A and B are shown apart, each in its own frame.
Chain A
């Protein structure tokens, strides 16, 4: 960064200083050693990360272009985009896609509101700040599958304390919409703490003096929130939304335990898993994998470009 800005500075104001072409001059021994060390230190991590992501996703693309049913491996052959046509014209895919988007939109929206409330509690509560902070870390850390079982038994008629609050005869987990809302509830319970902590990080950047000044100037609590706190927190909010949206789109564990995808409660991840391990269809399963990857990439791109989310880590070089 600094090197580049220095170079443009030179280009704009050439007469004053002797042009320093830092790039042209050979690097000093120290700089070259630093460069080598930097690459050496990063190499193992980079290799591990790319070997298990870049290569397999390429391999998934290759598999998705083939008819490849593990029950009939001999019938394996190249079929071009036929699997994509199969998946994209199948209502199962679009149902799963819709369910995933719905769960993502509702849970992230609710979590944003709840997370903001929790962040404020953790910053300003007069009592019990530590207790809240400790308690919300339990949902964050707990194994999702374990929490999902807890919700499942809670909503099982007869067994569960929550199911017993409902009129008898209702089995919410066996109906599409009640089940989806239970899944959303489980997701919100589990991931709101993470959202709250990311927002707390943004909230702690809002200077107390500024809020006091706004109060002196007669701003109401709501005005202080919308006109002082929210604008200053915008970067943190966008980062939290980005993280949670991309995380929610891959929802798997909760649905797997709560409904196993029955009654049209499948997410795209569950659909991909089912095609791979129940139908043993590696070709179609890989197609779904690739489609999920593309969908996530598009949404991430829209976030970063459209909303101007500063990709976290971008300022890593700022020192």
Chain B
């Protein structure tokens, strides 16, 4: 009994260390964002004087609010498109026999490992010629490209687990093909699609390379890119507080995802690794 308690205690200590290490940088940023401008450079881990001024400040500047709208809009549209196109391809990969499937899987994998910076210079030039530079589609298209491998990979792993015989069974029982799909298959496919959507959204939400290379104004600049320009362009007192506050704001969706979809995210990230 006592060895078990000892084991439990040592696990608990180890786990606490892990949790603290994982959270400290986030808490530090949150602390900075709540510090009064006069105390922001005091080096204390916790604020001595709390304030919401930094948050009020960023939400009053269009630089941040428009970047937030861009971030949300671009990530949501890219995610929807990636899940739709990815589901189509993943269904084919998981269920159909056709020549070229291996090639498709190999190409998908190559693209997943493609160094994004290699595309920045050609895309920068192409987008200027095509009028896509500094527009939403200008970012949505590369995001879609780089999230499709992730989407196809994750979705085909999920789709392979679906008991597709149920579809035929439902049809034998008198359901039309449409009914069979909507009432039997769609609910089974939904969890995989939600998981994929979360992973793709996180990918688009966190991108920085494309965001600073293919945008130049608040027309399409996303928050990670806009933050990098806070220091120079801000009218508010201290860029540290503003950057910290903006950082906390764009971390909130991630924290929500992690709390509500923790299991799904883990399943999604590991599905490919187990299957492959």
The answer on A and B forming one complex is yes
Interface residues of A (CB under 8 A from B): 31, 34-35, 37-39, 41-42, 44-46, 48-53, 56-57, 59-60, 63, 118, 121, 125-147, 149-151, 153-154, 158-161, 163-164, 189, 193-194, 197-198, 200-202, 204-205, 236, 239-240, 242-243, 246, 249-250, 252-253, 256-257, 268-269, 272-273, 276-277, 282, 285-286, 289-290, 292-293, 296, 300, 310-317, 319
Q: Is B124 an interface residue (CB 8 A)?
A: yes
A134 touches B258 (CB 8 A): yes
A127 touches B269 (CB 8 A): no
Interface residues on B, range: 35 or more
Interface residues of B (CB under 8 A from A): 4, 7-8, 11-12, 14-16, 18-19, 21-23, 25-26, 28-29, 32, 40-45, 85-86, 88-89, 91-93, 96-102, 104-111, 113-126, 141-142, 144-145, 148-149, 152-153, 156, 160, 202, 205-206, 208-209, 212-213, 223-224, 227-228, 240, 243-244, 247, 250-251, 254-255, 257-259, 262, 265-266, 269-276
Min CB distance, B91 to chain A, in Å?
A: 6
Return the chain A residue nearest B23 by Cβ: A135
CA distance A268 to B109 in the complex (A): 22
CA distance A50 to B99 in the complex (A): 18
B266 touches A197 (CB 8 A): yes
Return the chain A residue nearest B274 by Cβ: A201
A312 touches B122 (CB 8 A): no
CA distance A159 to B241 in the complex (A): 11
B141 touches A48 (CB 8 A): yes
Return the chain B residue nearest A303 by Cβ: B113
Q: What are 13 A-to-B residue pairs whose CB atoms are below 8 Å?
A: A41-B89, A53-B114, A60-B121, A60-B122, A63-B121, A128-B16, A143-B224, A143-B251, A143-B254, A144-B206, A198-B273, A256-B212, A290-B118
CA distance A185 to B105 in the complex (A): 34
Chain B CB within 10 A, most for which of A31, A246, A253, A315: A253
Min CB distance, A161 to chain B, in Å?
A: 5
B91 touches A314 (CB 8 A): no
Query: 18 more A-B contacts (CB under 8 A) besides A135-B18, A197-B273, A200-B270?
Result: A35-B96, A41-B92, A48-B144, A121-B15, A128-B11, A132-B15, A135-B19, A137-B265, A138-B23, A144-B208, A146-B251, A149-B247, A158-B43, A239-B273, A273-B120, A276-B120, A293-B118, A319-B160
Also in contact, A189 and B121, with CB within 8 A (given A250-B116, A277-B213, A316-B105): no
Min CB distance, A256 to chain B, in Å?
A: 7
Min CB distance, B123 to chain A, in Å?
A: 5
B273 touches A145 (CB 8 A): no
- Chain A residues positioned under 8 Å from B148 (CB to CB): 45, 48-49
Chain A CB within 10 A, most for which of B23, B124, B259: B124
- Chain A residues positioned under 8 Å from B45 (CB to CB): 161
Q: Secondary structure of the A side of the interface? A: helix
Q: Which of B7, B11, B272 contacts A312 (CB 8 A)?
A: B272
Return the chain B residue nearest A267 by Cβ: B117
A45 touches B89 (CB 8 A): yes
B125 touches A313 (CB 8 A): no
A53 touches B145 (CB 8 A): yes
B8 touches A292 (CB 8 A): no
- Chain A residues positioned under 8 Å from B120 (CB to CB): 272-273, 276, 289
Min CB distance, B183 to chain A, in Å?
A: 22
Min CB distance, B32 to chain A, in Å?
A: 6
Min CB distance, B189 to chain A, in Å?
A: 14
CA distance A126 to B10 in the complex (A): 10
CA distance A56 to B96 in the complex (A): 31
- Chain A residues positioned under 8 Å from B25 (CB to CB): 139, 147, 150-151, 154, 189
- Chain B residues positioned under 8 Å from A129 (CB to CB): 15
